[in-house]
Amino acid sequence: MARLKKEKVFRDPILNFISIRDKTILDLINSSEMQRLRRIKALGVANLVFHGGEQSRFQHSLGVYEITRRMVEHFDVNRPKFWDHDNDIVVMAAGLLHDIGHGAYSHTFEHIFGTNHEEFTQKIITDPSTEVNKILKRYDENLPNEVASVIAKTHPNKLLVSMISSQIDADRMDYLLRDAYFTGAEYGKYDIERILHLMYPTEEGIVFDISGVHSVEDYIVSRYQMYLQVYFHPASRGMEVVLENLLMRAQGLFTEEIQPEIFFPTIAAIFESGKDISVSNYLKLDDGVFTTAFGIWLNSKDKILSDLSRRFLDRKPFKSISYSGERDNRLIHLEKLVEENGFDKFWYSGTNNANDIPYKSYSARNKTKRPIQFIDGDGNLKGLSSLSDIVKSIDNMEVSDNRFFFPKELLKRSEELKKQYHDRKAF
């Protein structure tokens, strides 16, 4: 690997420093595709609830790279014979580039346009027109495919895959700490340094020294709490529903050529092609392109488009009440209340179902999903839930929250909705 003459160090609020020692990694960071991630927020619209949560995908990606680099460094101390240094560049580039295909307002964007950030990550790395592809190829002709297959979890080396995607990988380890820090949540903290020190490489993936059980247990509990307190927050999901309805309305007006003149080419490309948008057009999109469009749409002749744009820009989240998650009589009745009180249910209501399984010791659906394992003094492997009563109690437990969303004004117009809203369970 071509070493830099002098190490480059970037200060980082979470990991203290990001250390760059290789020219290929520095070139990748400076590529146009990586720099685009500065313009995409890591938490989508959650900054409208947690105002500190403005951090970008760029800084998260640097964090994942740094954690991957530190894993390699600790492998060298703990079990040098089990780590092949030819893999350094593969896994560090995979950590850095794992989110390169994220779109603007990631999850909402994907939902509306049918794009998939994982597919775009693969395309951006393997497409000969991109800068990252050229940089990786300069190092080795096959490097783009290798890096892409680590991220896609298809690489034959299970250890490399487990470092980037497993139940305790560099990606999750970074975003939990980073999101907790920037949102100001007092959850999500755990002792990353200790976990890295106690991590070993094996052919099947990473394992931990048995003395690290409680540090890893703390990481799982942090993840559980972050999902309930931050990622599932009803108000940010209320903003997501506004954004979804807004993008759908705009796309409908464009497709039916009702007001095509208000769409500039960057946005028109995604409305025209959806998931088949070209890589180069996809890379022109970021959060700012859409925010600018929403500002223009405030003055649209289409009253619904301008109203939804205003609700998004002025942060007027839809309110919500829990429902079963099924399209049952209650949901149909709630939609009727929206209509009866003067709103079109299609543009002014919506459902959002959030769910997560904080830890799975076994997956019937995905047999390759491994439990988190520890190695004892005799060299035996033991699963986390057999060592921790706390993790055992949430093992395979799905946490979910299904909500029906509607405009806040309805709480004044409908006594029935108001009563259901105030009777809601505390979140």
- DSSP character string of 258-305: SSGGG--HHHHHHHHHGGG--HHHHTT--HHHHHHHHHHHTT-SSHHH
Q: Where do runs of H (alpha helix) occur along 314-414?
A: 329-340, 345-348, 384-387, 389-394, 410-413
Q: Find the shortest distance in angstroms from Cβ 322 to Zn ion.
A: 29
Cβ-contact 64, 260 below 8 angstroms = no
Residue indicated by tokens 């991109």:
130
Q: Which is nearer to Zn ion, 287 or 307 (CB)?
A: 287
Helix, strand or coil for residue 30? coil
Q: Find the shortest distance in angstroms from Cβ 106 to Zn ion.
A: 10
Half-sphere exposure of 47 (CA within 13 A, CB side): 15
Q: Which is nearer to Zn ion, 13 or 260 (CB)?
A: 13
Q: Which long-range contacts (CB under 8 A, 24 or more apart) does 209-215 make?
A: 209/374, 209/375, 210/374, 210/375, 210/376, 210/377, 210/382, 210/387, 212/374, 213/374, 213/384, 213/387, 213/388, 214/388, 215/190, 215/191
Q: Find the shortest distance in angstroms from Cβ 242 to Zn ion.
A: 25
Residues that bind Zn ion (CB under 5 A): 99, 171
Q: Find the shortest distance in angstroms from Cβ 92 to Zn ion.
A: 15
Q: Find the shortest distance in angstroms from Cβ 10 to Zn ion.
A: 18
- Partners of residue 199 on adjacent β-strands: 208
Q: Which is nearer to Zn ion, 226 or 246 (CB)?
A: 226
Residue 237 and residue 98: Cα distance in Å, rounded? Answer: 25
Four-point Cα dihedral 105, 108, 109, 112, nearest 10: -160
Q: Which is nearer to Zn ion, 60 or 403 (CB)?
A: 60
| Interacting residues of 93 by C-beta distance below 8 A, sequence separation 6+ | 24, 25, 28, 136, 143, 147
Q: Which is nearer to Zn ion, 66 or 99 (CB)?
A: 99
Q: Find the shortest distance in angstroms from Cβ 286 to Zn ion.
A: 17
Q: Which is nearer to Zn ion, 68 or 309 (CB)?
A: 68
Q: Find the shortest distance in angstroms from Cβ 250 to Zn ion.
A: 28
Q: Find the shortest distance in angstroms from Cβ 42 to Zn ion.
A: 8
Helix, strand or coil for residue 375? strand
Residue 182 and residue 189: Cα distance in Å, rounded? Answer: 12
Q: Find the shortest distance in angstroms from Cβ 61 to Zn ion.
A: 7
Q: Which is nearer to Zn ion, 151 or 384 (CB)?
A: 151
Taken in order 285, 287, 289, 294, is the CA torsion positive or negative?
positive
Q: Which is nearer to Zn ion, 24 or 56 (CB)?
A: 56
Q: Which is nearer to Zn ion, 88 or 99 (CB)?
A: 99
